[in-house]
Structure 1
Amino acid sequence: MDRLLKNPANCAALSPVGFLQRAAAVYADRTSVIYGSTRFTWRKTYERCRCLASGLLSHLHVAKNDVVSVLAPNVPAMYELHFGVPMAGAVLNTINTRLDARNVATILRHSEAKILKQDGQDNPPHAPPMVVIIYDPGAHPSVTSHLLGVLEYEELIAGADPASSLPQLENEWDPIALNYTSGTTSAPKGVVYSHRGAYLSTLSLLLQWGVGTEPVYMWSLPMFHCNGWTFTWGVAARGGANVCIRTTSASVMYRAIADHGVTHMCCAPIVFNILIDGAQLAGIQRLASPIEVLTGGAPPPAALLEKVETLGFHITHAFGMTEATGPALGIYVLSLSDVDVKDVETMASVPRDGKAVGEIVLRGSSVMKGYYKDEKATAEAFRDGWFLTGDVGVVHPDGYVEVKDRSKDVIISGGENISSVEVETVLYRHPSVSEAAVVAMPHPRWGETPCAFLAMKVASKATEEEILSYCHHSMPRFMAPKKVVFMKDLPKTATGKIQKTKLREMARKFFIPDERLTSPSPAEVPKRLTKTSTTPMSGNRNLSSELVLVHSRL
């Protein structure tokens, strides 16, 4: 059997671009994209993507592995770029639309982007979407230093030939996307996906979430976040319809649900509050048909899940990260052989007793190629054939992996460890708390101590004394926050994740007098963990205007 070798007839390179080609053949006249009054079929979308690829090659002279950056919301052009760019042999870099100019410029420099596609609504009034040429490799050695030209997106599409020859993918390990981490726990890094990884991750998520044929998928998750958790490609694989929306306001989402019969959506937990409040204002008791919802990030409070599910949203919660192409755990995207919890010092698996704590590690095709232009970080992220997630967890006897905390969010007080997630869970149970985040603040004796940042419900009259008293009665004293900061809103990424890097920057300036502290009881001390340092993201905005009141007390 060893003489039976692979050849082009039995071994084709895997790429999610193939999902579009199949959709154009199998679902040619079915609706592919819905955006306001705009409707495209899969045949038309395929034609437009081919024109886009042709235009990038012939008019803009994009070469293999050049980076094409995009700064746009969930509009049809953003969807088309997920196919058109790799069809041209280039690498797609979708940029968070909530970043400021300095951070966008940093990404453009680091990625060495050749083209930037910008959404028209961010330009002067009535301006169309633009393709900005920012780099000519034959004329200028540095990026973002020269603006060589501006071209309307639709002009690029209209001026290209869909029948022109396009490069064929030969190596499935070639890069397809460059995504930058959100910077919630450290400085953002450029994460590179391969065609193979994107293809297999897409199929895995579709199968394990049980997405059937021709779903109607509403884009309530930004496409710029891990390529929309691969659903940019996944909807094409199932021949579904993409319902594009620019914002996640309650009125926009409920109108899309009613008009188009939405069956699936993904979102951050913060969207649940929007849906609940919107339903109350509109008098919506329950949806006409249930909607499957995939969410990630910190586990939503049980009371919140109960409310949103009562409306008809069926919630599936998953653990994920940019380096794992989005969702990785919680819906069995990875088999048991592809995830483990290990002692990072010995790389031995921790006992499956639900108590022994270790770092969650992953392996498989969904894991990134590595960090772009950062060999040191890439080498540190991989060890003994595993990717180190930086997340703390335990394994229960039945094999269930429970995420305890981000390793960078573990608070080490007097050498003992406090899970910020456990403290936040208790805070969320308080009837007046809308959002909670707990980070470490410095302490002269114990090194660190918990600091809670809270956003309260509108009608709340809870005081500092009430919150602290509640904490002392609801958790071991050594775990209770020593400082409470009330804010109108907690800072978040575009996908709704609380940006703890910004909160840590604030907490570093706080101080608790030494004489007011007491030692934690040895009986209350959990097992020691390893804590890694963090580097805040540059360009953080000033949060002083959001700060309402600061309280400090044991």
Structure 2
Amino acid sequence: MDGNLGIELPALHPFVGMDVTSALEERSRRYGERPFLVWEPPDGARRTWTYGEFARDVRAVAGGLASRGVRAGDAIVIHLDNSPGFLLVWFACARLGAVAVDLNTRYAEDELAHAVELTGAVGIVTDPRLGLADCPAVTALGWTALLDPATGTVPELVGDPELAPHREADPAAALCVQLTSGTTARPKAALFTHANALWAGRVGALLWRLAPDTIQLVYAPLFHTHALCWQLLPTFWVGGTVVVQPKFSASRFWEVSLRNRCTHTGLLPLLLKVVTSQPVPEHSYRSWIFGLEMPRLDALLGVRIFSAWGQTEVVSTPVVGELDNPVDEGAIGRPAPGYQVRVRRDDGADAGPGETGDLLVGGIRGLSVFAGYLADPAATAAAFEDGWLLTGDRVTVLPSGTLRFASRAKDMLKVSGENVAAAEIERVITTVAGVGQAAVVARPDPVRGEVAVAFVIAAAADPDPDETALQEAVVTACQQQLADFKVPRAVYVVPELPTATLEKVAKGTLRQWAADRHRAESSPPHPEMSR
């Protein structure tokens, strides 16, 4: 994989002479007997790795990867839910100078194939339970290694540590790829450097005020920035402990939290629904990171909610609250140290109190913001304007100087915490026989936050389309080619789509249509669409 995006870090920065491997070895020396990783599977044995044991096992997995021919610059797909195996392979790739491709486990085969082609991956580590180990996109790779579901590790990758060559620390070297949805029809590969990961660790720990006694519960997927950069790396930076679950479990949340005396975690919509509907036991939590300031939730849970805003491209959290000085209810916070933040009005001027504008972030590529999009120089160039990263989000400046999220400028949906580009779904729908045009919008959902809704126009060649058959065909195509959370929850066949300026589809109108039709529906949705 060619991970050289022309990144040149400043001559002097916080991580000169460092990389993820040197950071791990240093923590192994300093905190050798301190617990780093606690594995909490729903079935099977709970297990703990100290910093020393984890570093030892990373060296062994690096040796196993090296024996398969993995070299610096090679891309390795990590297609795993949260597990010790995910972390061991991720850190082992870092040790070899290979690039970990952190792949969403809900991707369909077509999406996995796109990631493999985009990154030029040479091998994959996957879980047989995910059902893609034998698909053509995987079998065409040089090698495949499988997770052992009983242990959560990858025994076949354990090798001779001496086979992993020594590498000089290079903070500007490519480290990992996060697949992120934009407004394009395919996810883009956001590239992080070793310096990006160290920045996430150091800055995240500072802002959230983590300490060596931090015990962080991680249930959100490690293939996303929230769990990896907001939770795991900051806890690793301070020598704390991460308690890892494969996925969120409503029935086990408090059980695991209490058994491990967890002090911090991330608050996602699924957890929010659980904790507000169940009794809150006595616990050891100090703070949960979330996207909004919520004082009423603080009082209910006896936990300080640490508000923060971020996205894949900004690595950490350029907008944050303050643990000791709460910001306005519903606000996302204030500009964080280490970043420049600007809110730009539509006329190009800076927004003042009460005004809304585009959120821009200033940082250093490959350090405080991502290095760029792999194999897509045009998209990388379009992500920046005069040195500012265009986040695609719009915020309102409150009279207090804090910021409140207003809307997404990009044509994006947020489904169960997952970013979904409408164009991704539209690309699939327009390949369906009988579809002439398609537009996808978000509809509010009490559980998932938002869900996708599709409006389609039948092809002109079919003046009397079978609407039910067309709806079923659209859903089937999406189920086959997209992750389940991207599949539309409703498909409406319409004679035409509303248009706005320059004949663009008026998505605001469609969102209103989707909401109105949902309210008006008195009968259950079609069986194929009720998931």
Same fold (TM over 0.5): yes
Question: Cα–Cα, structure 1 residues 291 and 505, in superposed 2: closer, same or farther, change >3 Å?
Answer: same
Report matched runs for 1:44-123 at 5 Å.
44-57=53-66, 59-122=67-130
Residues 185 and 534, structure 1, Cα contact 8 Å, conserved in 2? no
Structure 1 distance, partners of 2:255, 2:518, is 38
- 1:353, distance to aligned residue in structure 2 (A): 2.8
Partner of 1:269: 269
Match for 2:409 among 391, 407, 410? 407
Count of residues in Structure 1 that have an aligned counterpart in Structure 2: 422
Structure 2 distance, partners of 1:62, 1:133, is 22
Deviations 1:338-389 (A, max 9, x none): 11122577xx541423325344333233211111111111111111111111
Partner of 2:312: 322
- 1:182, distance to aligned residue in structure 2 (A): 4.0
Structure 2 distance, partners of 1:47, 1:95, is 25
- 1:271, distance to aligned residue in structure 2 (A): 2.0
- 1:512, distance to aligned residue in structure 2 (A): 9.1
- What letter matches 2:368 in structure 1? S
Normalising by the residue count of structure 1, what TM-score does the alignment of the two structures yield? 0.65
- What letter matches 2:35 in structure 1? T
Partner of 1:312: 302
Structure 1 distance, partners of 2:503, 2:15, is 44
Question: Cα–Cα, structure 1 residues 532 and 263, in superposed 2: closer, same or farther, change >3 Å?
Answer: farther
Question: Cα–Cα, structure 1 residues 506 and 341, in superposed 2: closer, same or farther, change >3 Å?
Answer: farther
Question: Cα–Cα, structure 1 residues 208 and 89, in superposed 2: closer, same or farther, change >3 Å?
Answer: same
Residues 70 and 95, structure 1, Cα contact 8 Å, conserved in 2? yes
Structure 2 distance, partners of 1:175, 1:368, is 10
Question: Cα–Cα, structure 1 residues 114 and 385, in superposed 2: closer, same or farther, change >3 Å?
Answer: same
Structure 2 distance, partners of 1:258, 1:185, is 43
Structure 1 distance, partners of 2:228, 2:297, is 25
Partner of 1:294: 289
Partner of 1:218: 217
- 1:454, distance to aligned residue in structure 2 (A): 4.4
Residues 76 and 122, structure 2, Cα contact 8 Å, conserved in 1? yes
Residues 309 and 318, structure 2, Cα contact 8 Å, conserved in 1? yes
User: Identity of counterpart residues, as a percentage?
Assistant: 20
Structure 2 distance, partners of 1:243, 1:11, is 27
Based on CA coordinates, which of the two structures has the bigger radius of gyration?
Answer: 1
Structure 2 distance, partners of 1:532, 1:206, is 44
- Alignment gaps of 5+ in structure 1: 1-5, 125-129, 135-142, 411-419, 422-436, 440-448, 458-496, 515-527, 536-543
Report matched runs for 1:9-408 at 5 Å.
12-36=16-40, 37-57=46-66, 59-122=67-130, 144=138, 146-151=140-145, 154-161=154-161, 163-164=162-163, 166-182=165-181, 187-226=186-225, 228-230=227-229, 231-277=231-277, 279=278, 284-296=279-291, 299=292, 306-307=296-297, 309-331=299-321, 334-335=336-337, 338-343=340-345, 348-355=348-355, 357-364=357-364, 365-396=367-398, 399-408=401-410
Normalising by the residue count of structure 2, what TM-score does the alignment of the two structures yield? 0.68
Structure 2 distance, partners of 1:532, 1:51, is 55
- What letter matches 1:242 in structure 2? V
Residues 31 and 40, structure 1, Cα contact 8 Å, conserved in 2? yes
- Alignment gaps of 5+ in structure 2: 1-9, 41-45, 148-153, 322-333, 415-419, 423-438, 448-482, 508-513, 522-531
SS where residue 393 of structure 1 aligns? Answer: strand
Structure 2 distance, partners of 1:69, 1:337, is 31
SS where residue 393 of structure 2 aligns? Answer: strand
- 1:11, distance to aligned residue in structure 2 (A): 8.1
Residues 229 and 327, structure 1, Cα contact 8 Å, conserved in 2? no
Partner of 1:468: none
Structure 2 distance, partners of 1:512, 1:149, is 47
Structure 1 distance, partners of 2:318, 2:501, is 23
* CA root-mean-square deviation: 4.4
Structure 2 distance, partners of 1:396, 1:79, is 40
- 1:87, distance to aligned residue in structure 2 (A): 0.6
Question: Cα–Cα, structure 1 residues 389 and 26, in superposed 2: closer, same or farther, change >3 Å?
Answer: same
